[in-house]
Chains A and B, each alone.
Chain A
């Protein structure tokens, strides 16, 4: 039996609010979801598991119909969904009452329930959320039953605010697969059949790395579960080094090249490290047009030749100032203060009052 496991899709979310590509990103979450379902069909999977947070909040009727259209179109696939912490169910809402297409099974109860899928001889146990936080350890008490040959558990949770569980107990329960949701990056837990697929599209600059789904094959003898990257874009952290001799043009080219080789479609957080000629820091904002740049961090420091300065200013205030810092342990705060003071002390003297031609 082949299955695809996704979670934390957050349809309706608008990542990178305030940036030009934000609206595009919102639509991409939907198009990737649609592509995932198509991929599911293409891979001839029998079962699609959506382990919570399919939506970014309580979905409107329109969003429900759109999602249902996508899922319902893949008639050959059985879909099992549970609600998670972000899209918890509310009584008497369109979400709670919605009637999905016949191949879509939403386990709506907040008590554990199960569904037996006859064509696959599989029982899926699951539980949904009715509030953002639930701390009961309901997942630890679930065990496979006698009905299906294949026994699967689907749920959102794993940390102290969301159905915490002891991993060993879950392993002991001996489900054929435990499909979890609640982490935005993929994680497969030992012994290999318990996993979080992570969001299929990354949602914030902190979520770097690959994103996609977990594909599983459950066979008579053995089973295998692998992570498959699938996202349209990734968040990438880029670090570029400069020195006092680097001109801004060169820096920009360097960044451009790095972005081009990695892929223009990705979303970048750029860190510039190194040094600049004292008094002439780089205007890093102008790097924003090399691509989709979410953030720029400036870690450059002024290129003071400390030894030379100490030598020249051995007897005077500058020397004494530097000594103050060299005497104490170096922290980032102290470093910055040292540079700050040096900058203030060594700046070109302006004309003094009465002297003048």
Chain B
């Protein structure tokens, strides 16, 4: 690519300023504050565009190069360049309120505007971006000539440029994407799922065993309940029967007692016993009769029939009385016997009655247990059981629900564990991709780094007229020299250091833009060069094959060009 012409319509201090360039070496000379950096910036902005704001902070270019003269509205300009045989024209307006971009292919008579134009321009410039521009096209003065400073700058430079080798494929972007992917995956990964699973499975086992225990318990209680109910029924029945039998027997006993009492009461009352006076009466009578008879006998001697008959009658009467007395005695004896028998019977009956009464009393005190009492304990146990069963039922229900829930949990967590495995595998792949990307990046750097040193060494050789033809950049040091001997850069003079820097920058640009060389913009780079070195540099630049635009505040370069 070659810049042919610039027109700074309104840019910084310039209005309608036109500058033409040649294809080879150009020198723009101007004292300080003449506007060299303005032109430099203009070229940059025409190539890359200018966003007035980046993330809310004002783009420093926008403010800095805002046109001084605001009498005419406008902020922008035009650049004409040659790329791959065609001539292109870029027109831009940077105004926030009216930004505008147009790309015209003057050779093919095509034009584009807006985003399309930007894309086409980028394609033309092979993806040149800000980093690439600052690192390759634009070469500013070496900020520091001390080795650490230079090393840092070179390291940064090498790393940046190596990564922009094929700028359409941005490795850092790719790495960001992979990291984002990895982060997303890590977020999806359920930490501790395996531990959760083990814990939940253990819980499930525990709950299952508890459920079984409760089931068994319920079963045993039901069995006890059934058996107790049977017992209650049986005991109630037998108790009722016992009670019935008891009642019957008691009745029988009572009747017995009452019969005995009846008998006792039916016995004749001893009070009503008559005293037997008859014996005495008959005896007296008999005596009287005999006495009478004897008197008669004594007084009459019984001569007369009357007296005889009377005496006989009296005697007979007396005998009858004696007989009567005998009967009476016999009767009295009989009666006595009877009374004795009666007494004995009475005694016996009395004894029997007493016994009967005692037995009755005793019997009464032996009432059998009522069904209520007999079954009281069992019934209370049954009530207990009922309560326990209800509680057990509730516990069992709870246990069953817990079991179901845990089953579901276990399944869910198993699914999560499986998912985790998948995520882990994916993560592994992503990490491998990142690793490989890093390896590739390093290799690119290395490759580029070594190629860079070779190219730079060639340039250095020309510059130093053969004095040094080798450059080596190691981790913490740069050394230059020849096959025979290498010297650390920190031992070299400032001038040499500048030359090394120059070689590296030019070599880098050459390497990166092999297909379509971009112009070099040297921004006041040679002010510290001595005349010899300057001459060598100019010679090199004349033949390097790139368009070179040197901004200088010194006339020396100008003179050298003409020479």
Query: CA of A357 to CA of B96 in the docked complex: distance in angstroms?
Result: 10
Query: A315 on the interface (CB 8 Å rule)?
Result: yes
Query: A305 on the interface (CB 8 Å rule)?
Result: no
Chain A residues contacting B408 (CB-CB under 8 Å) are: 17-18
Query: CA of A336 to CA of B422 in the docked complex: distance in angstroms?
Result: 12
Shortest distance between the CB of A316 and any CB in chain B (Å) = 4
Tell which of B151-159, B426-434, B452-460, B471-479 binds the partner. B426-434
The count of chain A contact residues (Cβ–Cβ below 8 Å) is: 41
Binary contact track A313-331/B, C-beta < 8 Å → 1, others 0: 1011110110011000000
Task: Give the 5 A-B residue pairs with the shortest CB-CB distance, closest first.
Answer: A336-B429, A316-B166, A337-B432, A341-B433, A94-B219
Query: CA of A16 to CA of B223 in the docked complex: distance in angstroms?
Result: 36
Chain A residues contacting B220 (CB-CB under 8 Å) are: 92
Contact B178 A344 (CB under 8 A): yes
Shortest distance between the CB of A145 and any CB in chain B (Å) = 35
Contact A333 B428 (CB under 8 A): yes
The listed residue (B169, B177, B432) touching A317 by CB distance below 8 A is: B169
Contact B436 A355 (CB under 8 A): no
Query: CA of A225 to CA of B531 in the docked complex: distance in angstroms?
Result: 109
Chain B residues contacting A14 (CB-CB under 8 Å) are: 407
Query: A349 on the interface (CB 8 Å rule)?
Result: yes
Chain B residues contacting A333 (CB-CB under 8 Å) are: 425, 428-429, 432
Contact A352 B436 (CB under 8 A): no
Query: A356 on the interface (CB 8 Å rule)?
Result: yes
Query: B415 on the interface (CB 8 Å rule)?
Result: yes
Tell which of B44-52, B250-258, B323-331, B461-469 binds the partner. B44-52
Q: Using CB atoms, name the residue of chain B closest to A352.
A: B129
Binding site for B on A (CB under 8 A): 14, 17-18, 57-58, 60-61, 90, 92-94, 97, 313, 315-318, 320-321, 324-325, 333-334, 336-338, 340-341, 343-347, 349-350, 352-357
Enumerate B110-159 residues with CB–CB distance to A below 8 Å: 114-115, 117-118, 122, 129-130
The count of chain B contact residues (Cβ–Cβ below 8 Å) is: 57
Query: CA of A355 to CA of B220 in the docked complex: distance in angstroms?
Result: 85
Given contacts A345-B169, A349-B168, contact A354 B130 (CB under 8 A): yes
Query: B174 on the interface (CB 8 Å rule)?
Result: yes
Binary contact track B183-194/A, C-beta < 8 Å → 1, others 0: 000000000000
Shortest distance between the CB of A294 and any CB in chain B (Å) = 11
- The total of interchain contacts (Cβ-Cβ below 8 angstroms) comes to 133
Given contacts A320-B443, A321-B437, contact A355 B219 (CB under 8 A): no
The listed residue (B49, B178, B208, B215) touching A60 by CB distance below 8 A is: B215
Contact B54 A353 (CB under 8 A): yes
Binding site for A on B (CB under 8 A): 48-51, 54, 59, 99-101, 114-115, 117-118, 122, 129-130, 165-166, 168-171, 173-175, 177-178, 181, 208, 212, 215-216, 218-220, 222-223, 407-408, 410-412, 415, 425-426, 428-430, 432-433, 436-437, 439-441, 443-444
Contact B51 A324 (CB under 8 A): no
Q: Using CB atoms, name the residue of chain B closest to A320.
A: B440
Query: CA of A313 to CA of B440 in the docked complex: distance in angstroms?
Result: 14
Please give 11 more A-B residue pairs, beta carbons under 8 A apart, in addition to A317-B166, A340-B429, A356-B51: A17-B407, A17-B408, A93-B219, A316-B169, A317-B169, A317-B441, A325-B436, A333-B425, A343-B177, A349-B173, A355-B118
Contact A357 B129 (CB under 8 A): no
Contact A341 B437 (CB under 8 A): yes
Contact B51 A353 (CB under 8 A): yes
Contact B130 A353 (CB under 8 A): yes
Contact A340 B407 (CB under 8 A): no
Contact A354 B437 (CB under 8 A): no
Q: Using CB atoms, name the residue of chain B closest to A58.
A: B212
Most A CB within 10 A of own CB, among B181, B219, B433? B433
